[in-house]
Chain A
């Protein structure tokens, strides 16, 4: 059953016809040719398809496209140039992943990076995690344990975790923190 919907993807509006069964992940990959989010399991169990859906990190494989009519979606591809990057246009997290060698095969990486963007916003907004030492604390201190727990929805079979955590910590602890905090406060 086909339905016409609109999606804003990486800053561009698209009108497209999808089967009601089509997920956001398949709409992006198969209909719009944006192969940045990856299909690792198609069951919400790996995080490779993580996108930013209306500013929050979410799994494209479990979201039906028809149920997200008009949504604003940012993929890892869309973070380039749009994410406050410097000369190379890369988002600070993208640059940090490269600097820290935070991947091997790279298949989970777009999902890791979108997840990290969303995660930093959540932390800036003061959202606690399961390893919070003080669940009532107003501010989140993103130590390695916090980052690892908050990023556990993104599996990496190459197991680059030992580099992923420092890559994110580096960005979290830099100037970007302030920017995210402002952004978090507005949410």
Chain B
């Protein structure tokens, strides 16, 4: 932060102006002129660049190291895909691309900071108060105990508020300089340069199958953007390691170092773009094999994790496909492309599978207190960004304590509370909920064994670390789903509408059906937005995102959304945690784009392999 005279990307912070009103500050900042020695930016993502590299130590979110963002290795090989592809009865070799996407929560990133006696208080919008505190403290050279981060409510994040980003540190530096509290809110335009994005990808997929439609070989080779300033690698092909059975397999990730801002987590980072490619390829391959796309997936369902050989803690993808197909009316589908028309509209339907891991993250503890009047207080530095954390954790605590929810008061979003991992990786319920359930269990035991079930006059309090889950080593833990899309395409203009989206999910036990449903609907709708509208355009000469506002970077508006249905199987996972829950906040955005692109192919006969699917790609010269 302001430590170098080099500018790593267009839009990077080069200074700050502090004023007493926002009007004065913005005007003044606009008057500052810098003189640079200019060099042309290098922002072109191509698979034939000679500086592509295999990611190393890109994992930041997890604490176990690893090469990709989620801690996975960059490459995986099983068998020998080359000869298997050469010998296959049916082969598909296709390249898919996904653009740069920006998270764009409605609430811009904001920090209000103040220093008192060398201690820093930061009010900011973050998905992880504990991690923000640690990273801000480390950047400023402070012990973590001298920084407090407060963030009880978050106006959406979708990954962009997991890491604290430079703006909060800049505000802290400004405040230390002027010795006054400082408030700093990013403009919407700045959010396209300073708080991360989903990196663009080029993905080549090759599939080989035998005469019965059984996959013999699967390869998924990814080239994706990263910043020259700092490496970041989405786990784009990791989904391909677990989705379908095949004896011969290979996945690779390579990074193109560019003069662009540092990418970050965006809802289902890697899986969202990887499953667009894999599930589009599965649709193409089903057609090539002359099979129904639902049946083709079922035929290639693995018994165990195809690469690690571990059993799944629970995997009900086939049930999702079958039940989703039933609800979507799939059996009536004529597979012929461009065969259904209503007036000016070409109609099509498509399917894709969804998956997302269900991990437990380290670094959690919870305190549970009970007062003599029975009032219970639960403390953990968790975050609620609209996901329902406030409600679900209160329910989990009430359940574990055996009291009605009205008696439980939950406090989150403050580093004076016990540490918590960030809201990300669909790990919240699993990590925070397990910690709370453990603290509650210990409290009840203590109450029973030491106090004869009578709360002492001063109350009783227990703080427990998140319990280890030994099953995590023995099982592969993932959520699954199947998404069905119906699309209409205007035969004259190529305009695309999505009259129906239906998702059937396997997410273990659902703690709160209301907030769960809302998450699933929102994720699917974001998946639709990813499929059809969103696309950050990098200017190759200037290196900035050209369409850096909501009028040009389109996210789905109300009129774009029609029937969206989210359902789940009534299943409990026996291994993930005591609640039997799996993650659900991200699996729902995975696969939607492929389901829609597959439906567009069914409607029009045009296969779009480059997201977003826009009308210009469907207009043909008759």
Interface pair A46/B550, CB less than 8 Å apart: yes
Given A41-B549, A148-B561, does the pair A106, B23 have CB atoms closer than 8 Å? Answer: no
Q: How far is the CA of A145 from the CA of B562 in the complex (A)?
A: 8
Interface stretch of the complex, out of B210-218, B279-287, B551-559: B551-559
> Counting CB contacts under 8 A, is B89 at the interface?
no
Given A26-B22, A107-B156; A157-B564 close (CB under 8 Å): no
Interface centre among A26, A30, A156, A164 (most CB of B within 10 A): A156
Is A45 located at the chain interface by the 8 A CB criterion? Answer: yes
CB pair A157–B106 under 8 Å, yes or no, is yes
Main secondary structure of the interface of A (DSSP, over half): loop
Interface string of A12-56 (1 = CB under 8 A from B): 000000010110001000100000001111110110100000000
Provide the bound-state CA to CA distance between A38 and B514, in Å.
25
* B188 at the A interface (CB under 8 A): yes
Contact with A along B230-249 (1 / 0, CB 8 A): 00000000000000000000
Q: Which residue in chain B gives the minimum CB-CB distance to A112?
A: B558
With A26-B23, A39-B185, A46-B106: A158-B522 Cβ-Cβ less than 8 Å: yes
Taking a contact as CB atoms under 8 Å apart, the answer to whether B557 and A19 are in contact is: no
State in angstroms the CA–CA spacing of A104 and B523 once bound together: 11
Closest to A163 in B: B518
Q: How far is the CB of B515 from chain A (nearest CB, A)?
A: 7
Inter-subunit contact B385/A41 (CB<8 Å): no
Would B155 and A105 count as touching, CB distance under 8 A?
A: yes
Instruction: Decide: A22 and B188 in contact? CB cutoff 8 A.
Output: no
The reply to whether B21 and A158 contact each other, CB–CB distance below 8 Å, is no
Q: B386–A103 contact, CB under 8 A?
A: yes
Residue from the list A38, A108, A152, A158 in contact with B559, Cβ < 8 A: A152
**In whole angstroms, how far apart are the Cα atoms of A22 and B518 in the complex?**
37
Chain A residues with CB under 8 Å of B98's CB are: none
Partner of B188, one of A38, A43, A156: A43
Given A161-B558, A162-B525, A21–B155 Cβ distance below 8 Å?
no
* Contact residues in B for A45 (Cβ distance below 8 Å): 188, 549-551
Does A154 sit at the interface, judged by CB under 8 A?
A: yes
Q: How many residues belonging to A are interface residues under a CB distance threshold of 8 Å?
A: 40
Is the C-beta of A132 less than 8 angstroms from some C-beta in chain B?
no
A3 to chain B, nearest CB (A): 13
Q: State the main secondary structure of chain B at its contact with A.
A: loop
Q: Restricting to B501-547, which residues have a CB under 8 Å from any CB of A?
A: 514-515, 517-519, 521-523, 525-526, 529
Distance between Cα atoms of A178 and B418 in the complex (Å)? 53
Which residues of A are found within 8 Å of B521, using beta-carbon distances? 159-160, 162-163
Kindly identify, within residues 112 to 171 of chain A, every residue whose CB is under 8 Å from any CB belonging to chain B: 131, 145, 147-149, 151-152, 154-165
Q: What are the residues of chain B within 8 A of A154 when measuring CB–CB? A: 558
Task: Determine whether the beta carbon of A41 is less than 8 Å from that of B550.
Answer: yes
Is B607 in the interface zone, CB < 8 Å from A? no
Is A155 a contact partner of B555 (Cβ separation < 8 A)? yes
| Contact of A151 with B558 in the complex, beta carbons under 8 Å | yes
Contact of B107 among A40, A43, A103, A162 (CB under 8 A): A40
B106, B107, B385: most-surrounded residue (chain A CB, <10 A): B106
Residues of chain A lying within 8 A (CB to CB) of residue B564: 161-162
| Complex CA distance for A157 and B187, rounded to whole angstroms | 16
The answer for the CA separation of A106 and B559 in the assembled complex, in Å, is 20
How close is B412's CB to chain A, nearest CB, in angstroms? 14
B97-119 residues at the A interface, CB under 8 angstroms? 104-108
The answer on a CB contact under 8 Å between B561 and A155 is: no
A173 to B156 alpha-carbon distance, docked (Å): 31
Whether, in the assembled complex, A182 has its beta carbon less than 8 Å from a beta carbon of chain B, the answer is no
- B296 contacts the other chain (CB 8 A): no
Interfacial chain B residues near A161, Cβ < 8 Å = 525, 556, 558, 561, 564
Q: Are A42 and B158 in touch, CB under 8 angstroms? A: no
Given contacts A19-B21, A19-B23, A159-B525, contact A105 B558 (CB under 8 A): no
Decide yes or no whether A101 CB sits under 8 A from chain B.
yes
Q: Is the CB of A106 within 8 A of B558?
A: no
| Interface residue B207 (Cβ < 8 Å from any Cβ of A) | no
Which one of B108, B187, B529, B559 has the greatest number of beta carbons of chain A within 10 Å?
B559
Contacts of B561 in A (CB 8 A): 148, 159, 161-162, 165
Contacts of A145 in B (CB 8 A): 559
State A162–B495 Cα separation when bound (angstroms): 21
**Alpha-carbon distance A108/B188, docked complex (angstroms):** 15
Within 8 A of A (CB), among B142-159: 153-156, 158
Residues of chain A within 8 A (CB-CB) of B156 are: 104-105, 107, 157-158
Note all chain B residues with C-beta closer than 8 A to A22.
23
B54 CB to nearest A CB, Å: 34
Q: Give the chain B neighbours of A152 by CB distance below 8 A.
A: 557-559
Residue from the list B158, B556, B559 in contact with A149, Cβ < 8 A: B559
List chain A residues, Cβ under 8 A from B555. Answer: 155, 157
A157 — which chain B residues lie within 8 A by C-beta?
Answer: 104-106, 156, 158, 526, 555
In the bound complex, CA of A38 to CA of B106 (Å):
9
Taken together as a complex, chains A and B put the C-alpha atoms of A161 and B154 apart, in Å, by 19
CA distance A19 to B27 in the complex (A): 12
Does the CB pair B522–A159 fall under 8 Å? yes
Complex Cα–Cα for A104 and B555 (A): 16
Please indicate the chain B residues that have their CB under 8 angstroms from the CB of A108 in the complex: 106
| Chain B proximity mask over A91-114: 1 for CB below 8 Å, otherwise 0 | 000000000010111111000000
Contact (Cβ within 8 A) A158 B108: no
A101 adjacent to B514 (CB under 8 Å): yes
C-alpha gap A149/B563 in the complex (Å): 15
Contact partners of A40 in chain B: CB under 8 A: 106-108, 188, 550
User: What is the CB-to-nearest-CB distance from A149 to chain B, in angstroms, rounded to a whole number?
Assistant: 5
Complex-state Cα separation, A151 to B526, whole angstroms: 18
CB-nearest residue of chain B to A29 = B22
8 contacts between A and B (CB under 8 A): A19-B24, A43-B550, A45-B549, A46-B550, A105-B385, A106-B386, A156-B106, A159-B526
If A41-B188, A45-B188, A101-B515 are given as contacts, then 16 extra A-B residue pairs at C-beta distance below 8 Å, sorted by A number, are A26-B22, A45-B550, A101-B518, A104-B156, A104-B385, A104-B386, A105-B386, A106-B153, A107-B155, A151-B558, A157-B104, A157-B105, A157-B106, A158-B518, A159-B525, A159-B561
Please list the residues of chain B having a beta carbon within 8 angstroms of any beta carbon in chain A: 21-24, 27, 104-108, 153-156, 158, 185, 187-188, 385-388, 514-515, 517-519, 521-523, 525-526, 529, 549-551, 555-559, 561, 563-564
- Top 5 A-B residue pairs of the complex, sorted by shortest distance between their CB atoms: A105-B386, A104-B386, A107-B155, A159-B525, A45-B550
